[in-house]
């Protein structure tokens, strides 16, 4: 093999991959040691020393000095060792340089294959280090290819690492074009046999949460806290927000002036509706607010079963329940309570009806919808 060509190739790879030459040299040394042992079928400890300044590659075989040789490939007797150097003693390591004329006969192709395998491992490690900090964050990717329902995205600028966006992680209505960019939420990153495995999504509630962190400085700074968030991707998100500072309106801050902040997020989500409600430590109040945009008349709860019966005016019933029960279902997920929505007329029809548990009533104030009227129904 031509040592000079190898070192020139390493310089090219360093410029192309952006990886320090020292990493390549270590990969080269390991590769040549493996190739040498494979070529000659020996089990000696082998070390390759590459010197790019001199364009030289030297190979050394090591044996341990012992009283009695059991494995001649790995061991050398004290008597034989002292023929090489009189100061050797039992336990010392004897290094023998392999004839360069022999090492030069090692097939270059074998060494190259191992080198590139090592380089793939290094690239994988670097990609993992680069992406590890992106877990639970939003990243912008490029659509590389589409196969069936799966979309493959290029997620690193410095490597060929890609992630698959499965059908279940794509929001209804999402459209993907090869070469276009798309924002995704990184759910988890873990190492695998084939490199980093990146789990990404556009349907996870974390995606919406991170979009609000990017869009609303008060959330990013921790002034406003997102207490809970639930989502049916492509249709509706419910988010409860809270702020210790009573002078700050957490809902208004999320909505923004004339709805600019929330509208930006709605646009990214393809028109998905977003209900932003003020979180309240009083569970009665929180349950009532969770059914926004419907107005609630009364809430009755059973603490033991975490069940709530909610009364709304008859003309609010369909709004409170939502299409296919979506609004009530999301409210239940947001609060963690079972919610049964009833019209006010049901009480009038049967005034003796009681919830079969201890009751608590809550005359909920007629609080404003989280959105200004001119924003329309998000």
Please name each of the domains of the chain with its CATH number.
Answer: 3-129 (3.30.1480.10), 133-201 (2.40.50.140), 206-375 (3.30.300.20)
CA distance 32 to 10: 14
pLDDT digits (tens, 9 = 90+) for 27-72: 777 777 777 777 666 667 778 787 877 877 788 888 899 999 888 8
pLDDT digits (tens, 9 = 90+) for 251-283: 999 999 999 999 999 999 999 999 999 999 999
Q: Looking at residue 364, what is its pLDDT?
A: 38
User: Cα-flanking dihedrals φ and ψ of residue 182, to 5°?
Assistant: -150, 140
Q: Looking at residue 284, what is its pLDDT?
A: 96
What is the side-by-side order of every strand in the sheet holding 273-278? 224-232, 236-243, 273-278
**Non-local CB neighbours of 258 within 8 Å, separated by 6+ positions:** 372, 374, 375
Does the global pTM surpass 0.85? no
Q: Flag the least confident range among 8-17, 88-97, 267-276, 298-307.
A: 8-17
Q: What is the mean pLDDT of the chain?
A: 83
Query: Which of 109-113, 157-161, 238-242 shows the highest mean pLDDT?
Result: 238-242
Q: DSSP assignment, residue 354?
A: -
Q: Looking at residue 281, what is its pLDDT?
A: 96
Query: Can you state the angle between helices 3-17 and 21-40, rounded to 10 degrees?
Result: 140
pLDDT digits (tens, 9 = 90+) for 131-161: 778 889 999 999 999 999 999 999 866 567 7
Q: Is the pLDDT of residue 294 over 90?
A: yes
Q: Is the pLDDT of residue 377 over 50?
A: no
């Amino acid at each position: 093999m031509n040592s000079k060509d190898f070192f020139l190739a390493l310089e090219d790879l360093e410029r192309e991959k952006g990886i320090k030459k020292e990493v390549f040299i270590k990969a080269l040394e390991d590769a040549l040691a493996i190739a040498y042992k494979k070529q000659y079928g020996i089990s000696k400890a082998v070390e390759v020393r590459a010197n790019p300044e001199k364009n030289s590659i030297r190979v050394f075989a090591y044996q341990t000095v012992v009283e009695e040789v059991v494995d001649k490939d790995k061991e050398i007797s004290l008597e034989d060792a002292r023929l090489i150097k009189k100061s050797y003693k039992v336990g010392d390591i004897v290094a023998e340089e392999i004839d360069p004329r022999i090492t030069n006969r090692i097939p270059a192709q074998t060494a190259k294959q191992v080198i590139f395998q090592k380089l793939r491992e290094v690239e994988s490690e670097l990609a993992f280090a680069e992406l590890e900090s992106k877990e639970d964050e939003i990243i912008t990717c490029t659509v590389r290819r589409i196969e069936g329902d799966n979309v493959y995205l290029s997620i690193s600028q410095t490597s060929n690492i890609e992630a698959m966006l499965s059908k279940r992680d794509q929001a209804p209505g999402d459209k993907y074009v090869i070469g276009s960019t798309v924002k995704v939420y990184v759910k988890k990153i873990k190492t695998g046999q084939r490199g980093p495995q990146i789990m990404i999504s556009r349907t996870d509630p974390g995606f919406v949460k991170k979009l609000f962190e990017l869009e609303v400085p008060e959330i990013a700074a921790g002034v406003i806290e997102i207490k809970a968030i639930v989502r049916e991707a492509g249709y509706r998100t419910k988010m409860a927000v809270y702020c210790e500072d009573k002078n700050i309106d957490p809902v208004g801050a999320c909505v923004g002036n004339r709805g600019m902040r929330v509208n930006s997020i709605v646009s990214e989500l393809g028109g998905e509706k977003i209900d932003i409600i003020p979180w309240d430590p009083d569970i009665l109040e929180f349950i009532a607010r969770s059914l926004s945009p419907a107005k609630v008349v009364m809430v009755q709860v059973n603490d033991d079963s975490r069940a709530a019966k909610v009364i709304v005016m008859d003309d609010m019933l369909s709004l409170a329940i939502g299409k296919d029960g979506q609004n009530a279902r999301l409210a239940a997920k947001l609060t963690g309570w079972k919610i049964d929505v009833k019209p006010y007329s049901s009480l009038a029809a049967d005034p003796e009806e009681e919830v079969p548990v201890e009751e608590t009533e809550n005359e909920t104030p007629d609080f404003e919808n989280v959105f200004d009227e001119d924003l329309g129904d998000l």
